[in-house]
């Protein structure tokens, strides 16, 4: 079997490894010559049969690989190109004509409203356009780039002056994928419980494979820090409403094949979309989910791509965690350079500790945490006892506040 992964960064590198270990001859294609800074450290082109930089769609005529069995986006910047390559090689994929619905937050909202699906109140702002007035009863509002990820330049604004400052900041720079910000969204802030939903789709049929409840910490200067994510059993009270809503969203976005990662709020009026990404969840390796659940979105994507009968065999099965699972995003309250990392001597000795991801090594710069991109790693906690899980979470936050996880120098 021969396949293509586009921009196999972040979680995509773990998907690539599972595919290669399954016997797939895997070709990697970069949609941009420069690997985005956030992904550069973990990218290893040496694991692939070939690594090709394809910045221009006109270069398709030089892609002579013979038969290709699948194309998949490994990370967010690869979504557009993956659609086009799937069409070019005539393999399963999502329609190129609707790619923007699955990549642009402004277009997502429009698609939901056309389909009569509840969505957030928002206005779209173009880089050279006039900044619109925001209804006074919307505040606070969330301002964010239309095409980025990981909380990049997302700000909570309490008045029009803060909105203008946030927009000017967004339009003055590139996004995390090194692409210019030309469009932004000003959205009335949603309230309620926040969830992440991972799914798989084949021939327009959708299957929910994980639901996580997410918690964030909102700072006084408008940033949203990712706190923790807890895997929720499939039979919790609001599950059916969330699953039905997500499936409607995926259909409205014309997502007919592959993995998707959806974030939403469960408000007093029901679920409301934040965004959907037509790829696997970023920043995960799948090991903790496979331990607690028997599968992960990474392993499910591998199965979908390599076994045409897998989806039908799983369609009616509800996921069932065998243990409680929590992802804890680490928080740094200061910036500087890592002198020592004490994760092995502290967090790794907690009763629920399973694994860690993205832990910084001595000599690495560390930023003050303001979003997902600036967190200094995360850890997975797994335990049959939910009380022990909560106790270990509290222990991690105490360690952080006392400066006992990372020892810094040149601190500021």
Is residue 233 domain-shared with residue 322, that is, in the same domain?
Answer: yes
Produce one character per residue of 363-382: b if its CB has 16 or more CB atoms within 10 Å, e if not: eeebebbbbbbbbbbbbbbb
Residue 234 · residue 246 · CB < 8 Å: no
Residue 210 and residue 295 in one domain: yes
Question: Containing domain of residue 311, as a range?
Answer: 193-409
Radius of gyration of the chain (CA): 21
Residue 264's domain is classified under what CATH number? 3.30.470.20
Both 172 and 246 in one domain: the answer is no
Q: What is the pLDDT of residue 299?
A: 98
Q: Decide if 312 is inside a domain.
A: yes
Domain count, the chain: 3
Residue 244: how many other CB atoms lie within 10 Å? 13
pLDDT of residue 410: 83
184 and 203 within one domain: no
Is 261 a member of any domain? yes
Q: What is the pLDDT of residue 55?
A: 66
pLDDT, one tens digit per residue, over 243-283 is: 999 999 999 999 999 999 999 999 999 999 999 999 999 98
Do 354 and 299 share a structural domain?
yes
The CA-CA-CA angle for residues 141, 374, 349, to 5°, reads 120
Same domain for 52 and 83?
A: yes
pTM, to two decimals: 0.94
Same domain, 169 and 225: no
Residue 57 has pLDDT above 60, yes or no: no
Is residue 24 domain-shared with residue 173, that is, in the same domain? no
In a domain, 104, yes or no: no
For 272, half-sphere exposure in the C-beta direction (CA atoms, 13 angstrom radius) is 17
> Do 266 and 396 lie in a common domain?
yes
Least confident span in 20-29, 62-71, 263-272, 381-390:
62-71
């Amino acid at each position: 079997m021969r396949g293509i992964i586009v921009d196999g960064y972040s979680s995509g590198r773990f998907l690539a490894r599972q595919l290669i270990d399954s016997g797939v001859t895997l070709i990697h294609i970069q949609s941009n010559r420069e690997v985005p800074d956030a992904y550069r450290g973990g990218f290893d082109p040496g694991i692939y049969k070939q690594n090709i930089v394809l910045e221009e769609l006109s270069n398709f005529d030089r892609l002579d690989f013979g038969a290709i069995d699948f194309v998949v986006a490994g990370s967010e910047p690869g979504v557009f190109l993956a659609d086009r390559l799937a069409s070019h090689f005539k393999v399963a994929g999502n329609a190129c004509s609707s790619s923007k619905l699955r990549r642009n937050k402004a277009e997502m909202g429009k698609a939901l409203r056309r389909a009569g699906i509840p969505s957030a109140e928002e206005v779209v702002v173009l880089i050279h356009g006039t900044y619109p007035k925001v209804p006074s009863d919307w505040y606070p509002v969330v301002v964010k780039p239309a095409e980025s990820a990981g909380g990049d330049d997302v700000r909570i604004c309490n008045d029009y002056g803060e909105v203008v400052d946030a927009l000017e900041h967004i339009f003055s720079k590139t996004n995390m994928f090194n692409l210019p910000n030309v469009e932004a969204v000003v959205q009335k802030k949603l309230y309620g419980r926040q969830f992440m939903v991972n799914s798989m789709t084949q021939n327009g049929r959708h299957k929910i494979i994980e639901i996580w409840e997410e918690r964030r910490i909102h700072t006084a200067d408008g940033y949203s820090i990712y706190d923790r994510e807890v895997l929720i059993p499939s039979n919790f009270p609001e599950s059916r409403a969330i699953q039905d809503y997500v499936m409607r969203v995926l259909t409205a976005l014309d997502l007919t094949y592959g993995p998707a990662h959806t974030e939403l709020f469960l408000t007093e009026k029901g679920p409301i979309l934040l965004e959907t990404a037509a790829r696997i969840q970023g920043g995960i390796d799948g090991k903790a989910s496979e331990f607690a659940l028997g599968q992960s979105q990474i392993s499910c994507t591998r199965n979908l791509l390599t076994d045409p009968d897998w989806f039908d065999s799983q369609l009616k099965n509800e996921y069932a965690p065998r243990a409680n699972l929590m992802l804890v995003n680490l928080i740094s309250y200061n910036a500087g350079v890592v002198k020592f990392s004490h994760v092995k001597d502290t967090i790794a000795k907690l009763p629920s500790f399973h694994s860690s991801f993205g832990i910084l090594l001595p000599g690495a710069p560390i930023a003050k945490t303001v979003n997902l991109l600036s967190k200094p790693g995360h850890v997975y906690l797994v335990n049959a006892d939910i009380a022990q899980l909560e106790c270990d979470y509290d222990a991690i936050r105490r360690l952080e506040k006392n400066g006992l996880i990372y020892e810094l120098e040149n601190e500021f």
